Amino acid sequence: MKIALIELDFHVDSVDGICKIFEGSNHELQIFTTEKNFSILKNRSYASKHSWHLLTHKNKLDFLISNESKINCCDGVFINTISADFGCFAKFNFKTTTILRIHNAYKVFSPWNHLKIYPTALGIWKAISYVIREIIWDRFWYYRPIVVEKIDFFTFPDKAIEAFLLTNKIIPPEKIAPVLPIKVFDETVQLIVNKSSDINFTIPGGVDRRRRDYLPVLNAFKILLPKTNKKISLSFLGKCNTQFGREIISEFKKLSSDNFIVNSFEDFVPQADFDSIMKETDVVISPVNADGLTQIYGEIYGKTKISGSITDVVLFPKPLILPSSYLLNDNLKTIFDSYDSPESLSNLILSYSNNKNLIAEKTKIIFENLKLNYDKKTMLNLLVDFYEKHKK
């Protein structure tokens, strides 16, 4: 089977995930993407297996039209994301079964009922800029419903998002394709347990008040540090070069001692450093805000949008602690921890800090669960079978 994979925005990680699903199979990907995305992926093990068609000019519609025969001769089309330029996809004539992966469900299916603006001068300025550029100039208001009607099927990166949309009748069941995670389990990953007596906690992602609530984490460490003499490190694995970021790191560093070290990055974390720190991590903490924001649209993490921490843990199987407000699918509920207060979070951190065997046991359980439920061959078969069944 030959699939046209289209990614004309910036979601390079999820392109990487799809390519890995097809790696080692007899199926072919025709990949239509940007030069920047290709520059990141060109040295991956799968790069030479697939055919790459690169957007070298700004007009996305002209690019698709120039490759129309190559796209429509495929057995199916998989659009990884539509972040902007809905008009491009509304105008293009897709003749084969088309699936679109949704990253921000409210923006695509119910934008006007979930408008949200961050109440700061910068937030208001960004909102005005977005309205002028995309809603008015690019006519998002007009082209979005055309795209929703035109696309044959939609897929989501997590089963909990699909379930939420179905329960709330936001999307009809006949328009749903199998769930396809952003990342799949990498069979080359080894089960790694930090054998040092030190305990390493990590918060992945840039320090951003819109996406994460750090206060419960800060208060949890204030509660637990006097109760343990274990050596603990906390790494903020993302850039913290904003005023808010520096203030948060400063508050955590006030707790520093011989037994508590805080690590942070001023700028973007190089991939090699990110991978190295994640491998050495014992437990991941993700204090994600339930109420997220994409441009001017409110999203709910776990219900209409997935947290990047879930993706990180699929690649680096580790114990994960999330707020109880984050909706996990039934499978992940059984393996991850949740907190609803600084006290409950401090108890979780303390239980891991005082018991390395607990970390080892939990890591093994998570490793085996993700290996089973995020298996790339299973995902490949689900997708290929779906295209076969719904071939035009």
pLDDT digit string, tens, across residues 317-336: 999 999 999 989 888 999 99
Top CATH class, 2-181+376-389: alpha beta
Residue 193: is its pLDDT beyond 80? no
Main-chain dihedrals φ then ψ at residue 245, nearest 5 degrees: -60, -45
**pLDDT category, 24, cuts 50, 70, 90?**
confident
Residue 349: is its pLDDT beyond 70? yes
Residue 240: is its pLDDT beyond 70? yes
The pLDDT value given to residue 189: 72
- For the segment 90-140, what is each residue's pLDDT rounded down to a tens digit? 999 999 999 999 999 999 999 999 999 988 888 899 999 999 999 999 999
Sequence-distant (≥ 6) Cβ neighbours of residue 110 within 8 angstroms: 170
Amino acid making up residue 119: P
Residue ranges of the domains in the chain?
A: 2-181+376-389, 199-373
pTM: 0.92
Residue 195: is its pLDDT beyond 80? no
The reply to whether 2-181+376-389 and 199-373 are identical in fold is: yes
The pLDDT value given to residue 197: 75
Looking at CATH, the fold of the domain delimited by 199-373 is given as Rossmann fold (3.40.50)
The pLDDT value given to residue 192: 67
